[in-house]
Structure formats: C-alpha cells, structure tokens
C-alpha cells in the first residue's frame, strides 16, 4: 500500500514538473516571439529569459559566422523596418543562419534601437554580434565606378580622377609604392621586388564607394578584392611548382591579347609552350607597355611599327627583345585571364594571329611555316 501511495506521489510530482516545464517553455517562446515587436521595453524577467536562452543555448551560434568568405556583401535596411524584418533579410542573403536569433540578440542587448536605415557592407565571415555593430553605422551616399579588365595603372588613375574625383598623381604615388604612409600588408604582395608596383594587383570590378572616397581607401578595396577573388586562384599554381607572380604576369599578357573569352586558355598555352623551349614570347602588348603613352596617337596602347619591336626599354618589358617574361604584369587582368594562365589549354601551338578586320578570333599554328601560310592568307 505504501509503495502504491509513493508511486502516486511521484506521478503527481512528475505531472507538476512537466506542467511547469510546459508553462515555462510557452512563456519562453512567447517572450522570444514578442521580441519582434518594433516598440516596447523588456522587463527584467524578459531579459533574464532571453539572456539565458542566448548565453546557455545559442552562445556558439552567436559567435559562429556563416562561412569564411570575406567577399563584401551589400545590405540595405529600409526606413521603419523592424529587427525581425532585418533578421529575415540577413538570413535570406546568407549573412546569418537564424534571423530570429539576430532579432532576439539585438532586442536583448538594446542594439535594436541603434540599427540605422541605409546601405551597409557586410561579409559572411562576420558573426551576429559583429553584424549588429556594423548595422549601427550606415554608409554615406554611394557612388559606383567600374574598372575594366586590362587597364594599366595610369589608365585606372585617369578613370578614377574623372569619375570619382581623386587626384591621379596621388593615386599613382600609392600604387607605385612611392607614398611613405602607405604600407600594404597582404600575403600575395610579400614577394614583390623592391622596384615593383601594384600593377596587376588592382582587381578589375565594379566598386561601390562612399562619396568623396580617399585614394588609400580605393586602393585597399581593390587589393582586398584581389585577395578574395584572384589570390586563391593564383595559389593553385604554386602547388604545381609555378610562381604565382609569374602566372599573374602571363595573365596580364593574355588579358591584353584575348578578344574572344573562349580563346584565353589557348593563348596562355602558346606563351607557356614558347617559354618551355626558351623561345621569346614576342607579345605585342609587352612592347606597347614598354613604349608607354603615345602623344601623337593619344593612347597608351599604340599601334606598333616595325621599328617599335626593336625598342630596348631599360626595364626589359619588350619581349621581342627580352627573351623571358617581363619583370612584372603589364596590366591588371580579370579573373578569367588569371584562370586561363593557371589552367591553360593543352596544346602544341606556338603561334597565333588575328586577321585584320576580322571578328577578333585568332588562328593558331604549331610551326612557324604554318603560321606564315595563315598570315599570307590574311593579307
């Protein structure tokens, strides 16, 4: 009989405990749901419940970013959006794994009222705490500028001066590493020779910039972009025993030669085949780069004459004279040309040409005799 009464008591206690847990869970869930309201103060009990939920149950999720991807992501908050709506947008753009957790955190921490409407630059390697702080600093009105592939430093400087209003001379001092206050610290620049510049490392792309950006800010954004998109691809070449800087130099030549995108790997293979047998590259863009700006033609990439090919430039960029790769990139290549230089086509071609007035495609040849035949047919 005593055992029976004891079992009833245990069952009664269990039911009370279960009911208490259910009540607490409902209260907890209700409090967390109420956090989505745009207004209203949290009571001490509210803060205790939410704080316990975040600290004990979701602490790892708070500090864990979505990924290691440092690529900038544009994020816009419209006026009157609530923390709940902001959290759902963050989740939809892949910036947080749980929009409700973001909403709970900013209400609990009091940061929900500090979040501003405006445009922000976020990254997927940011935690919820880092994102909530970033959303308190809306960017000023933005301007957009596009840096095309295959431009040299001077062309980029002129473009930025015209479209953004920066001083071209100041930009060139920075990218030629002549500015004493500018010390870029990026792993992909560690092997840069003492006489080197940032030619080749200013990644072509469309950039969103604040009104009146500083020259240094623009340069750092371009280097950040190179580090995020181009440097990992170049590092693949190191695994095969190739120097990433040499690959970047080759990519810059491919960028200037290629007109049709699909031909980039083939053009890269031609130059690698020549290098492998000690043959000069004979690349027109290197001669153009060595000659620099032509005031008569009013352009950097001048139309070459027979005499131009014999130009002996002090830096050794003209590959019709210099039998090896140029000492540095001759332009700033895009990702497709870099990928082509890292993974060229498998071919035995050593020559190529484009017929004047054609569609930009090239004819490729294995032997010089074959090349001359095709050249004659183009004339």
> Phi and psi dihedrals of 288, rounded to 5?
-60, -40
Q: CA angle, corner 258, sides to 253 and 264, nearest 5? A: 85
For position 357, what pLDDT does the model report? 74
Task: Give dist(CA 145, CA 149) in Å, integer.
Answer: 13
In 140-297, which ranges are E strands? Answer: 142-146, 206-210
Which structural domains are found in the chain, ordered by start?
23-134 (no CATH), 142-229 (3.30.1490), 242-378 (no CATH)
Whether the CB-CB separation of 148 and 207 falls below 8 Å is answered with: no
Q: Please write the tens of the pLDDT for every residue from 341-358.
A: 999 999 999 999 888 877
Whether the CB-CB separation of 108 and 42 falls below 8 Å is answered with: yes
| Pair of tokens at residue 243 | 């120097």
In 159-301, which ranges are E strands? Answer: 206-210
Task: Give dist(CA 108, CA 51) in Å, integer.
Answer: 7
The yes-or-no verdict on residue 16 having pLDDT over 90 is no
The candidate with the shortest Cα–Cα distance to 212, out of 147, 159, 166, is 166
Query: Which contacts of 364-367 are long-range, i.e. CB under 8 A and separated by 24 or more positions?
Result: 364/266, 364/270
Q: Which residue has the tokens 């750092």?
A: 220
For position 7, what pLDDT does the model report? 59
The predicted model scores a pTM of 0.65
The yes-or-no verdict on residue 377 having pLDDT over 70 is yes
For position 182, what pLDDT does the model report? 80
Q: Please write the tens of the pLDDT for every residue from 86-137.
A: 999 999 999 998 888 888 777 766 666 778 888 888 899 998 888 888 888 7
The yes-or-no verdict on residue 40 having pLDDT over 50 is no
């Amino acid at each position: 009989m005593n055992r029976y009464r004891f079992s009833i008591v245990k069952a009664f206690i269990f039911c009370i405990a279960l009911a208490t847990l259910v009540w607490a869970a409902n209260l907890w869930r209700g409090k967390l749901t109420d956090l989505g309201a745009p207004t209203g103060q949290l009571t001490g009990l509210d803060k205790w419940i939410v704080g316990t939920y975040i600290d004990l149950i979701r602490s790892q999720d708070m500090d864990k970013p979505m990924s290691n991807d440092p690529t900038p992501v544009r994020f816009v908050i419209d006026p009157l959006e609530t923390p709940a709506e902001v959290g759902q947008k963050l989740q939809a753009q892949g910036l947080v794994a749980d929009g409700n957790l973001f909403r709970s955190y900013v209400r609990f921490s009091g940061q929900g009222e500090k979040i501003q409407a405006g445009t922000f630059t976020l990254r997927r390697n940011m935690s919820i705490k880092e994102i909530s702080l970033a959303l308190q600093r809306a960017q000023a009105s933005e301007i957009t500028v596009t840096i095309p592939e295959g431009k040299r430093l001077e062309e980029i400087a002129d473009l930025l001066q015209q479209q953004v209003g920066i001083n071209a001379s100041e930009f060139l001092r920075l990218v030629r590493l002549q500015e004493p206050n500018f010390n870029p610290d990026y792993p992909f620049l560690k092997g840069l020779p003492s006489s080197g510049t940032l030619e080749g490392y200013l990644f072509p792309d469309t950039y969103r910039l604040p009104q009146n950006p500083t020259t240094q800010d623009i340069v750092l954004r371009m280097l950040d972009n190179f580090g995020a998109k181009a440097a990992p691809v170049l590092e693949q070449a190191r695994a095969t025993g190739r120097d990433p800087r040499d690959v970047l130099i080759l990519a810059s030549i491919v960028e200037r030669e290629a007109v049709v995108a699909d031909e980039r790997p083939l053009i890269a293979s031609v130059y690698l085949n020549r290098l492998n047998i000690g043959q000069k590259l004979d690349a027109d863009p290197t001669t153009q780069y060595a000659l620099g700006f032509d005031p008569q033609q009013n352009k950097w990439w001048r139309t070459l004459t027979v005499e131009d090919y014999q130009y002996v430039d002090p830096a050794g960029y003209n590959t019709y004279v210099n039998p090896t790769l140029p000492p540095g990139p001759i332009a700033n290549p895009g990702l497709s040309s870099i990928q082509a230089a890292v993974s060229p086509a498998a071919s035995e071609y050593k020559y190529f040409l484009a017929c004047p007035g054609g569609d930009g495609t090239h004819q490729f040849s294995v032997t010089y005799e074959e090349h001359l035949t095709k050249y004659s047919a183009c004339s």
